[in-house]
Amino acid sequence: MKTLHIVRHGKALQDYRFIQDSDRPLIEKGIMNNEAMAKQLLTRYSVPDLIFSSHAARALQTAYIFARVMVYPYDRIQINERLYLDGEKETYRILESLPDEVQSVMIVGHNPDVTFVANTYAGRGIEPIPTSGVVTINFTTNRWREIGKSNATVKRINKTLCESLFF
């Protein structure tokens, strides 16, 4: 079985007239929500074998928060600039090129790309993934190149699981 965790970056600074979009940092709410979501994910799954992240500040900060909570080495986060502007295609390329020894992967990116990817593999309509949202898809195959052909089980970790937290 292969596992894909799709994570949308946390809530970021909205007023960015004076900085590039890719440089927008997380706000406090985004940081707290990411921590809560990472803890929820860790109660259900083991630490991913690989984490890929967009280079945008808000996505990279999100990846670092998930890594810290899940005790994943920061220096093993693979930063990929293509996940920023071409996230959907790049995610498919990443997944198809993974060695089969890798069992689980986390992709940290942006909407609408993360939602498109989730819908492609889920085979049904997933509503737009909110900031700090996580969709986990388990595939009944042992080969990454076959994930599009396998049956998938979808688990969504969202606000309702962490309602008492900071949403």
Predicted confidence pLDDT, tens digits, the chain (167 residues): 999 999 999 999 998 788 999 999 999 999 999 999 999 999 999 999 999 999 999 999 999 999 999 999 999 999 999 999 999 999 999 999 999 999 999 999 999 999 999 999 987 778 899 999 999 999 999 999 999 877 888 888 755 444 333 33
Q: Domain limits of the chain?
A: 2-14+21-162
pTM higher than 0.85, yes or no? yes
pLDDT of residue 16: 77
- The neighbouring-strand residues paired with 154 are 137
Q: Which tokens go with 136? A: 């986990």
| Euclidean distance between CA atoms 165 and 60, whole angstroms | 22
**Which residue, 84, 28, 149, is CA-closest to 36?**
28
User: 10 Å Cβ neighbour count for 20?
Assistant: 9
Pick the CATH number of 2-14+21-162 from 3.10.129.10, 3.40.50.1240, 3.40.190.10, 3.40.50.970: 3.40.50.1240
Q: Which tokens go with 15? A: 């007023």
Q: Where are the beta strands (DSSP E) in the chain?
A: 2-8, 50-53, 77-79, 104-109, 134-139, 152-157
